[in-house]
A and B are shown apart, each in its own frame.
Chain A
Amino acid sequence: MRETEVVIAGCGAISAVGCGIETLRDALKKNSSGLRPLEKFSSPRFQSNVAGAAPRNFDDDNPAWSLATEALQQARESAQKILAEIPAGRIGLVLSTTKANIEALERISENRPCSETARRHLQANLLAADLAAAHGARGPVQTISVACVSGLIAVQQGAKLIQRGEADAVFVVGVDCLSEFVVAGFTALKALDPLGCRPFDAARCGLSPGEAGAAIVLARKDFAADSTIKIRGFGGSNDANHLTGPSRDGSGLAQAIRVALKSAKLSPQEIDFVHAHGTGTSYNDAMESLALKTVFGETSPPVSGSKGMLGHTLGAAGVLETICCVLAMQNNFLPGTPRLQTPADGAPKSLLREPKFGLRVKNVLKLNTGFGGMNGALILSHE
């Protein structure tokens, strides 16, 4: 059953660089940044007001629903022909989110208007159930919440559902929204860069929050003969070190990468590109650099990270950043690292500041790590 090939049949996204996959592709090619100072977080109670806001209404009481729905609609449209052949009972949904519609908690606590649906979507599993119902997925539904690795794990769970024969297609949806809750939280941890995140930069000093809705349609290869990018491997591990700080030597992430390579039956040399987690915090980027050195030695494949463009989109990150990898593979280019100026000592020598065009990108390794010591590594392959 593990022989069943799982391919990417469609994608959708809404994020700090705008709405739609073409917009995201163009932003990746231009290496632009969607981080902006926001009025909403300009009070002294927040460490930084720079964030990656999606083009959406900030008076919306249910932004989680809105962003997820927009992304999923785009993804379904792009996979229309394939989905038409698959009955609803064979379509599953896996939702990845850390805070679901936390907006509702803020509104209720301040006696501001909050609809029943917005309140209902405080519960991530109900958000998942409602998304599945609204988008014709009557197969298995799962709600994943594993900190910032959620998105990658959701992609893997979607692939597993298909490999186990429980579904023929799965909507993998990632969503998290900008909120005072999250910005106040990262402020309490003093984890924000007041100027906006600068992943792998010598002057980096924190992350920037971001929001996004991102969706991928996974399908069994027999239903999607023309889809050429497949899920080839996955590895997960736990640092078992500290709740908010990664293991300093990167050994946990290195382990996850090795497990992924083994499951993909690939050697490190066969990886063409690594899309890093790269949050811009001192610890994360240093740890990730070490992990890459451990696995790849001195000659790591080209590496870059997109959080300087999109911000840290938490539960959406794994899905959104996987889509960045898909766009790179489909358009024969490697993304750069927006907002990177001077690479830090110890950053991978193959770190890309600017995009590189005209390259065939066959095997991509996507990394994410999260609070609680979580590590995830996903491998995509282009036919």
Chain B
Amino acid sequence: MQISTHELKSKIIESLKLQDITPEQIDDDAPLFGTGLGLDSIDALELVVLLEKDYGIVIKDIEEGRPAFRSVQTLADFIAAKRPQ
């Protein structure tokens, strides 16, 4: 089942406590790390926690998550694919 990118963006904003930004201002395909939203390594770990807490997905190895974390869209696709039914 596809994940609404709007919902995912809200969760990211809430979990990472981003200020002065709305889901509408985050582009589906913009990079999450480095440039774009400019998230860092601690944020990556926090997103791993989010995936387990909200979607039941356990990432054993951070490298496994790397391609998924490229953008909101790739993360949404990853969740849709890995989410326990």
Contact = CB atoms under 8 A, between A and B. Distances in A.
Interface of A: 188-190, 242-245
B57 to A, nearest CB: 16
Interface of B: 40-42, 45, 49, 62
B40 A242 contact: yes
A292 to B, nearest CB: 24
A190 B45 contact: yes
Contacts of A188: 45, 49
B62 A244 contact: no
Nearest to B46: A188
Nearest to B44: A190
Contacts of B40: 242, 245
A243 B42 CA distance: 9
A244 B45 CA distance: 12
B34 to A, nearest CB: 13
Nearest to A191: B45
A243 B40 CA distance: 10
Contacts of B42: 189, 243-244
A368 B40 CA distance: 24
Nearest to B61: A190
A39 to B, nearest CB: 24
Nearest to A283: B41
A188 B42 CA distance: 10
Contacts of B45: 188-190
Which of A189, A190, A242, A243 is the most central at the interface, judged by chain B CB atoms within 10 Å of its CB? A190
B23 to A, nearest CB: 26
Contacts of B62: 190
A78 B50 CA distance: 53
B80 to A, nearest CB: 25
A278 B75 CA distance: 35
Contacts of A190: 45, 62
Which 6 residue pairs across A and B have the least CB separation, nearest first? A245-B41, A244-B42, A190-B62, A189-B45, A242-B40, A190-B45
